[in-house]
């Protein structure tokens, strides 16, 4: 990755947080498109000389749709006005119903998109692209109902690997993260339990449900997985995010898991919007040499925010506050 291009701001003077917000937040406003109600929970990656992404843009009919976007600096985005439509030979799978919360993962030179795909309820849709113009849709990975399908950037044990979060048709008041493998993107199996919500007494921000966020990052310690956790307060659901380190070869084994959150809804744009009190990470850019990471997260189901940190500090934080 070209370090000059990756968005970055130094930690503000006096800030003691492990992860800090971009001063330009929210970097994507809700009305960037003439018909968008909100743009949030979106995925960006390095692409050619710049960046590309798949964005969740709910329209003013309040329909959930995915749109492709491009950027030179990963902060100012040009998002296609036309929604993304996947190529699919099988109309039983390819018929568009709705799609939301996309992730994009580069595996062996090809970009894979996973998203929450409407098929008799939400499940995990899978597609790939080489150019961010044509997207080829594969079989849905799992039976409904499932959300937060996040692929690993390398094959594990020779197979594609993904974590996901089985759920229900509604606003799911429960949820554990599971791991699965596939040799061919058609058949998924070897399902393993990764982790459950934390006990309330130990780590309340993640005590109701959890779900993986950005593509996990390979480090010397194992896979760094940033994930969201939900607390059920008297005022509704509160979405924060923290970090875990998974075993490199057996990623369903959790080595460390942060008891503290990295970021929780505190700014006005995270606390006010269509769904208040939501910080929902779906992507991160990073530079392995400098350790810099830029985390993209949806804010209050309305706009998109960006936060910065250093991977070695996030690893140290995960170990220091671990509840395992």
Binding site for ligand BMA (CB under 6 A): 41, 100-101, 171, 239, 275, 278, 280, 298, 301
Smaller CB distance to ligand BMA: residue 251 or 265?
265
Smaller CB distance to ligand BMA: residue 222 or 273?
273
Q: Could you give the CA distance from residue 38 to residue 273 in angstroms, rounded to a whole number?
A: 9
**Bond prior to 26 in cis (omega within 30° of 0):** yes
Cβ proximity of 56 and 114 under 8 Å: no
Exposed, middle or buried by CB within 10 Å (0-12, 13-18, 19+), for 158?
exposed
Three-class DSSP category at 256: strand
Q: Could you give the CA distance from residue 48 to residue 322 in angstroms, rounded to a whole number?
A: 38
Cβ proximity of 283 and 111 under 8 Å: no
| Least distance in angstroms from the C-beta of 14 to ligand BMA | 31
Determine phi and psi for 316, rounding to 5 degrees. Answer: -60, -40
Smaller CB distance to ligand BMA: residue 173 or 312?
173
| Least distance in angstroms from the C-beta of 230 to ligand BMA | 8
| Least distance in angstroms from the C-beta of 24 to ligand BMA | 21
Smaller CB distance to ligand BMA: residue 41 or 292?
41
| Least distance in angstroms from the C-beta of 288 to ligand BMA | 29
Q: Residues with Cβ < 8 Å from 292, sequence gap 6 or more?
A: 3, 6, 8, 286, 308, 309, 310, 311
Smaller CB distance to ligand BMA: residue 88 or 208?
208
| Least distance in angstroms from the C-beta of 147 to ligand BMA | 6
Closest residue to ligand BMA: CB criterion: 275
- Dihedral sign of CA atoms 101, 293, 250, 321 in order: negative
Smaller CB distance to ligand BMA: residue 171 or 190?
171
Please give the span between the terminal C-alpha atoms of the chain, in angstroms, as a whole number.
Answer: 33
| Least distance in angstroms from the C-beta of 109 to ligand BMA | 29
């Amino acid at each position: 990755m070209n370090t000059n291009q990756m968005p970055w701001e130094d930690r503000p003077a006096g800030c003691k947080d492990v992860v800090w917000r971009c001063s330009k937040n929210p970097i994507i406003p809700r009305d960037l498109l003439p018909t968008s109600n909100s743009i949030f929970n979106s995925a960006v990656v390095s692409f050619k000389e710049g960046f590309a992404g798949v964005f969740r843009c709910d329209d003013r009919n309040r329909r959930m749709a995915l749109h492709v976007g491009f950027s030179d600096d990963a902060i100012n985005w040009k998002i296609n006005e036309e929604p993304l439509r996947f190529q699919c030979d099988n109309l039983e799978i390819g018929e568009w119903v709705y799609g939301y919360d996309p992730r994009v993962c580069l595996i062996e030179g090809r970009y894979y998109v996973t998203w929450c795909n409407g098929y008799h309820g939400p499940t995990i849709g899978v597609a790939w692209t080489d150019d961010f113009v044509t997207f080829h849709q594969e079989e849905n990975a799992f039976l409904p109902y499932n959300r937060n399908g996040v692929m690993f950037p390398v094959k594990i044990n020779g197979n594609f690997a993904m974590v996901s979060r089985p759920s229900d048709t509604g606003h799911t008041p429960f949820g554990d993260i599971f791991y699965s493998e596939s040799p061919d993107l058609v058949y998924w199996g070897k399902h393993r339990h990764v982790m459950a919500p934390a006990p309330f007494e130990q780590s309340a921000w993640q005590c109701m449900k959890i779900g993986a966020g950005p593509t996990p990052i390979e480090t010397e310690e194992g896979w760094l997985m940033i994930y969201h956790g939900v607390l059920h307060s008297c005022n509704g659901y509160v979405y924060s995010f923290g970090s875990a380190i998974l075993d490199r070869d057996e990623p369903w084994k959790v080595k460390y898991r942060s008891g503290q959150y990295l970021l929780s809804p505190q700014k006005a744009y995270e606390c006010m919007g269509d769904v208040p009190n939501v910080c929902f990470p779906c992507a991160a850019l990073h530079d392995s040499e400098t350790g810099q990471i830029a985390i993209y997260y949806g804010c209050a189901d309305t706009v998109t925010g960006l936060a910065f940190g250093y991977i070695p500090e996030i690893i140290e934080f995960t170990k220091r506050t671990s509840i395992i």
